[in-house]
Amino acid sequence: MADSTDTTTVSNVGRIDRLAENKYAQLLVTAGPVVVFEAIFFLGALTIMLLIATWEMQDFTLVRQFNINNFTDALTKLQNIQAFKTTILVASLSTITTAIFAFPVAYYIAMYGGEYKNQLVALIIVPFWTNYVVRIFGWRSILSTDGILNKLLLSTGIVDEPLGFLLNSRFAIYFGLVYLWLPFMILPLYSSLEGIDRSLIEAAKDLGASKFQAFRYVVFPLSIPGLLAGTIFVFIFSMGSFIVPSLLGGGTPFIGTRIEYEFGFGADWPAGSALGTILMIIVLVTLGTLIRHANMEDIF
């Protein structure tokens, strides 16, 4: 009896060991819960959005009548076309600008920060300690016609009248997005630059390369994964932004505010869902194009 029990126990242990070594079982145990969570709360939500985009709104009630008119309107109505153009333009300019400003900052911290690197990185993270809605409201007070900046310019005689384009304009949205997402460009760039083997730079200099040549042929190529990661973050966040254009745009057509209008005052959920679907497609195409030119393990 005892021998039979021992044999059964050994057999069960052997099955468990074989199961633990099975790569599919390992994948199920480790990634399974995450996949289920994403399937329910992400893919499920997207499916609902896609379904609503093919329905109609009649007398403030969703009618399950399949059609693609909402997608047609999203791509042909003048206000939607203007919103998409403005959103893509401003998001692209914001991404380029954050890269231009972020690279020198990340480079200095990584190469010359020395013992103060952690403190300098902490300064980059400090803005996250305050809700970004509050910070954007603060910029409204600074950029308005009677705000601090215009008062300073008027008092110094630099301008004769307040600068109206600083608020409720494309420039204001662009400025707000650059300010808001700049840390998301600096941090991945810093991570890539910090990971560069300094001996490679020294080797380039030993071979006769100038500082600029060493930067061009060694540092910059090795920092591209961080640059791509920052580009993905900033562009996607900018494309889907709602708070910044809502508070600083002053009615400037932006896809985020268009979606909010359709779900709010417009009372047209299918139209808003169609706009959201098209926005998601644009973001996915952009993301796919970027990751095709980079190793995902290097980026993240």
Phi, psi (deg, nearest 5) at residue 297: -65, -30
Regarding whether 32 and 89 lie in a shared domain, the answer is: no
The tens digit of pLDDT for each residue in 70-96 reads: 999 999 999 999 999 999 999 999 999
- The domain of 113 spans 71-299
Look at residue 63 and tell me if it is in a domain.
Answer: no
Regarding whether 175 and 36 lie in a shared domain, the answer is: no
Regarding whether 98 and 21 lie in a shared domain, the answer is: no
Look at residue 59 and tell me if it is in a domain.
Answer: no
Regarding whether 4 and 136 lie in a shared domain, the answer is: no
Say what the pLDDT of residue 10 is: 46
* CA 249 to the chain's CA centroid: 19
And the tokens for 51? 């379904």
The answer to whether the CB of 140 falls within 8 A of the CB of 245 is no
Count structural domains, the chain: 2
Regarding whether 235 and 152 lie in a shared domain, the answer is: yes
42/22 Cα distance (integer angstroms): 28
Regarding whether 147 and 10 lie in a shared domain, the answer is: no
Regarding whether 87 and 193 lie in a shared domain, the answer is: yes
Residue 133 sits in a domain whose CATH number is 1.10.3720.10
Look at residue 3 and tell me if it is in a domain.
Answer: yes
Phi, psi (deg, nearest 5) at residue 57: -115, 115
Please choose, from the candidates 198, 186, 187, 205, the residue with its C-alpha nearest in 3D space to the C-alpha of residue 222: 198
Regarding whether 77 and 25 lie in a shared domain, the answer is: no
Burial letters for 79-94: b for 16+ Cβ neighbours within 10 Å, e otherwise? Answer: ebeebbebbbebbebb
Regarding whether 5 and 135 lie in a shared domain, the answer is: no
Look at residue 218 and tell me if it is in a domain.
Answer: yes
Say what the pLDDT of residue 160 is: 86
210/218 Cα distance (integer angstroms): 11
Checking DSSP bridges between strand 61-63 and strand 56-58, what pairing results, if any?
antiparallel
Query: pTM for this structure?
Result: 0.83
Regarding whether 227 and 99 lie in a shared domain, the answer is: yes
Look at residue 162 and tell me if it is in a domain.
Answer: yes
Look at residue 182 and tell me if it is in a domain.
Answer: yes
Look at residue 184 and tell me if it is in a domain.
Answer: yes
168/194 Cα distance (integer angstroms): 39
Look at residue 66 and tell me if it is in a domain.
Answer: no
Please choose, from the candidates 106, 295, 90, the residue with its C-alpha nearest in 3D space to the C-alpha of residue 184: 106
Regarding whether 6 and 84 lie in a shared domain, the answer is: no
The answer to whether the CB of 196 falls within 8 A of the CB of 219 is yes
Q: Assign 3-class secondary structure to the chain.
A: CHHHHHHHHHHHHHHHHHHHHCHHHHHHHHHHHHHHHHHHHHHHHHHHHHHHHCCEEECCEEECCCCCHHHHHHHHCHHHHHHHHHHHHHHHHHHHHHHHHHHHHHHHHHHHCHHHHHHHHHHHHHHHHCCHHHHHHHHHHHHCCCCHHHHHHHHCCCCCCCCHHHCCCHHHHHHHHHHHHHHHHHHHHHHHHHCCCHHHHHHHHHCCCCHHHHHHHHHHHHHHHHHHHHHHHHHHHHHCCCHHHHHHCCCCCCHHHHHHHHHCCCCCHHHHHHHHHHHHHHHHHHHHHHHCCCCHHHHC
Per-residue confidence in pLDDT tens, the chain, 300 aa: 545 554 555 455 555 555 556 666 666 667 778 778 877 888 888 888 889 999 888 887 888 888 888 999 999 999 999 999 999 999 999 999 999 999 999 999 999 988 889 899 999 988 888 888 899 988 988 998 888 898 888 888 888 888 888 888 999 999 999 999 999 999 999 999 998 888 998 898 888 888 889 989 999 999 998 999 999 999 999 999 999 999 999 888 999 999 999 988 888 899 999 999 999 999 888 888 887 766 555 555
Regarding whether 149 and 274 lie in a shared domain, the answer is: yes
